[in-house]
A and B are shown apart, each in its own frame.
Chain A
Amino acid sequence: MRFLDCNRMAGASLARSPGRTFMMLLATAIGVAAVLVLTSLGEAARRYVSAEFQSLGTHLVIVMPGRSETSGANPAMMVAETPRDLTLDDARAIMRSPHVQRLAPVVVGAASVQRGGLEREISILGTTAEFRPIRQWTMALGEFLPNVGMDRAAPVCVLGYTIREELFGTDPPLGQWVRVGDRRCRVSGVLAEQGTSIMIDVDEVVMIPVVDAQALFDSPGLFRIIIQATSRDAMPLAQRDAKRIIRERHYGEEDVTVITQDSVLATFDKIFGNLTRALAGIASVSLVVAGVLIMNVMLVAVSQRTSEVGLLKALGATRRQIIALFLTEALFLAALGGLVGLGLGYGAVAGLRAVYDTLDFVPPVWAAGGALIVAIACGAFFGILPARRAADLDPIAALTGR
């Protein structure tokens, strides 16, 4: 039998029962569309997190107090020991590494901020002038913290965009006094609107010099030291230097965790990549279900077409030809359903994008290709049983309709 004739006959059989064909197409199409939509969700999450991390700044290395063990249980973990504080002296020492371009110590806490009769509890961020270029923030008004070195106190503060509105309304804030905790300071600047960055609403933060924050919270410990390496390649070197310097200063004990932006990004990339693949796997189950449906419907179709099969056998069709005919039908269904599903899926993703414009919904190409291939493979696999059943029909029984 010629390839074209085989396709034509299979296509004609499908066209003859449009209702049945439509149902089978729909099942496969929904499966493929599900894969696209779910993977695009995973991919959107990955891109979102990636973008958030990139928005932190470039070439960042972050030093955190405390050692996070990643290599399993360790006897030292059993001895509850408070990690040694990370101090401004530590920060200054790290500054000596040639791979460090900038560095900003960070202290975080909450305090009340008050102006006139208005008061509210707010996140306070103690840092230095270097913090602004590291985070690539822009100012709406005035200046960031004064560039006076880490350990110089100054009675100034910088307001987040929303805070300024809440405390000052339309009044000009620059040079005005506000009370932060028990300290009075002058507003030196207001940040431009930043929005949320890794779950912190920067617009609702008040920044003061790091030593003032230490005094305010009565603690010498730093929350983080944010380092900007000289280049991308310098990030691991800066990381290594930071570890070495802290170890030397902390009597040989490496009681800090130093991460690079790259490694965090890579980790998130991996997590979300795996998540996306897991979603693809879950969605693929619907493709298998579609395959089972195709199988069942085709089994029914075979029993309804016994006399046709019997006739073909009497006219000289071999087992192989009968199998080829029915398998072709299954493959047609699967491939066509897959293509329709791609259309549906991309349509649904476009819909999602229109509704949630903050997330970048794009189904990964591998998911689209993979879903189509899995759909066709399912069609082939689940088409085998009906095709074999048709080929095994006894021609006499088939012809006499027994």
Chain B
Amino acid sequence: MIRLEDVCRNFDVGEEVVHALDHVSLEIPDGEYVSIMGPSGSGKSTLLNILGLLDTPSAGSYTLDGVNTSTMDDAELAQIRQQKIGFVFQSFHLVSRLSALENVELPMVLAGDEPAVRKERGHAALERVGLGHRDAHRPSQLSGGERQRVAIARAIVMQPKLLLADEPTGNLDSASGREVVKIMETLNSQGLTLLVVTHDPAIGERARRQLKFRDGLLAEDKERAA
């Protein structure tokens, strides 16, 4: 359960103050499938960063699962990112020197899990994205779509409640993009809350709930026509 109340995020750009988010209030129940659309600079990425606890609001409050995050320190925020939130980035952000499995293991390494446990869970996560046979491959040996699927496996390996995807198909051709979206939708159907930031209306309109941002304001909040 995500609840934003009057969230503002201001950036100082020279003399000017840019309101990347301007009094945004929003509630997202667990298991929801949400797309966030809008032109560049509309505040959609800022919203995703705040939801992912990589950024903090200038004003307003962000409550995640009934816990107010604004009073947390670095270690507590890191703990929540680790346990509850998975990230998928446009440019994958895989570590090139590590194999697919090792990349998926990274969050568990940071969490201090045993190597044997890591291997088993990492492999299971790769199987869920259909890459169970690619454990030992390095990112450079994988196609773009496969790389993004490894990234998804990494995002879900800690069994988070929330998957945040920032332009997940932006660097992919349409076929692999569709596949990646399908995988995420499958995960959503299994109970994971899914938030996708995208430029692409074809992808954005697949979501049950569609948010449109303009100039830092939540301009439209509609549900997909059934």
Interface residues of A (CB under 8 A from B): 1-2, 5, 9, 12, 16, 307-308, 310-321, 395-396, 399
Contacts and interface: CB of A to CB of B under 8 A. Distances in A.
A2 B78 contact: no
Interface residues of B, number: 24
A314 B109 contact: no
A313 B54 contact: yes
Contacts of A311: 93, 95, 106
Given A318-B74, A320-B75, A396-B55, 13 more contacts: A1-B110, A16-B97, A311-B95, A313-B78, A313-B81, A315-B107, A316-B81, A316-B158, A318-B75, A318-B78, A319-B78, A321-B110, A399-B54
B78 A399 contact: no
Contacts of B74: 318-319
Nearest to B93: A311
A307 B91 CA distance: 11
Given A1-B109, A2-B109, A395-B54, A315 B154 contact: yes
30 contacts: A1-B110, A1-B112, A2-B112, A9-B109, A307-B93, A308-B95, A311-B95, A312-B106, A313-B81, A314-B52, A314-B54, A314-B87, A314-B93, A315-B81, A315-B154, A316-B78, A316-B110, A316-B111, A316-B158, A317-B78, A317-B110, A318-B79, A319-B74, A319-B75, A321-B110, A395-B54, A396-B49, A396-B54, A396-B55, A399-B54
Contacts of A16: 97
A2 B111 CA distance: 8
A1 B82 CA distance: 12
Given A1-B112, A2-B112, A395-B54, A316 B107 contact: yes
Nearest to B78: A318
Name A's interface SS: helix
Interface of B: 49, 52, 54-55, 74-75, 78-79, 81-83, 87, 89, 93, 95, 97, 106-107, 109-112, 154, 158
A12 B55 CA distance: 30
B216 to A, nearest CB: 16
A316 B95 contact: no
A5 B54 contact: no
A315 B82 contact: yes
Contacts of B81: 313-316
Contact of B110 (A12, A315, A319, A399): A315
A396 B111 CA distance: 21
Contacts of B78: 313, 316-319, 321
B143 to A, nearest CB: 21
Q: Which 5 A-B residue pairings sit nearest by Cβ, starting from the closest? A: A316-B82, A318-B78, A315-B107, A316-B81, A395-B54
A80 B75 CA distance: 80
B112 to A, nearest CB: 5
Nearest to A15: B97
Nearest to B49: A396
B109 A5 contact: yes
A396 B47 CA distance: 12
A399 B151 CA distance: 14
B100 to A, nearest CB: 15
A321 B74 CA distance: 11
A371 to B, nearest CB: 33
A16 to B, nearest CB: 6
Contacts of B55: 396
Nearest to A6: B109
Contacts of A315: 81-82, 87, 106-107, 110, 154
A254 B192 CA distance: 100
Contacts of A312: 106, 110
A284 B151 CA distance: 47
B51 to A, nearest CB: 12
B93 A12 contact: no
Contacts of B89: 399
B112 A316 contact: no
A315 B109 CA distance: 10
Nearest to B80: A316
Contacts of A319: 74-75, 78
Contacts of A318: 74-75, 78-79
Q: Counting chain B CB atoms within 10 Å of each CB, which of A312, A313, A314, A399 scores highest?
A: A314
Nearest to A312: B110
Q: Counting chain B CB atoms within 10 Å of each CB, which of A1, A310, A311 scores highest?
A: A311
Contacts of A317: 78, 110
Contacts of B111: 1, 316
Q: Counting chain A CB atoms within 10 Å of each CB, which of B79, B87, B154 scores highest?
A: B87
A312 B109 CA distance: 10
Nearest to A16: B97
B135 to A, nearest CB: 18
A318 B75 CA distance: 5
A74 to B, nearest CB: 69
A311 B103 CA distance: 11
B49 to A, nearest CB: 5
A314 B49 CA distance: 10
A395 B89 CA distance: 13
Nearest to A325: B110
A316 B109 CA distance: 10
Nearest to B94: A311
A185 to B, nearest CB: 88
A312 B95 CA distance: 10
B90 to A, nearest CB: 9
A316 B75 contact: no
Nearest to B55: A396
